[in-house]
Amino acid sequence: MSKPCPFCKPAPDGLVFSNDLALACDDNYPVSPGHALAIPKRHVGSWFELTGEERNAVLELLDRLRERVVEIHKPAAFNIGINDGAAAGQTVPHVHVHLIPRYEGDQRDARGGVRWIFPEKAAYWDRK
């Protein structure tokens, strides 16, 4: 028996924002202070299966989340990411967009950002 999708019936007290087609919440396993998620309400696994309206609804909430995080946590920058499919690291098969605040000094060298999923290819600026 598989576990129920945590994004299809989220706890009401965990919701930050919502609109007709999407919802937003803080990440239950944050990688930095303010890490949040924007999620379509319809259970679908891939960003590429969303309708244009659903994508717009998710992006609207991503903007609102950013405003909230800036006000509360005052980060220096953001990573925005989607793990689309198991081979990309997706662990909940319901598409969701991560908004990950970044802070000065949170990594020794932040250059390359998401490229570090393949460490041997990340530091392209050092290649001869």
Which CATH number covers residue 56? 3.30.428.10
- pLDDT tens series, the chain, 128 aa: 478 899 998 888 889 999 999 999 999 999 999 999 999 999 999 999 999 999 999 999 999 999 999 999 999 999 999 999 999 999 999 999 999 999 999 988 888 777 766 667 666 667 65
**Domain count of the chain?**
1
* Beta carbons of 37 and 22 less than 8 angstroms apart: no
> Does residue 33 lie within any of the structural domains?
yes
> Does residue 36 lie within any of the structural domains?
yes
Active site residues: 96
> Does residue 3 lie within any of the structural domains?
no
Domain of 62, in residue numbers: 12-126
How many C-beta neighbours within 10 Å does residue 6 have?
Answer: 15
> Does residue 69 lie within any of the structural domains?
yes
Does the model's pTM come out above 0.85?
A: yes
Q: How far apart are CA 53 and CA 59, in angstroms?
A: 10
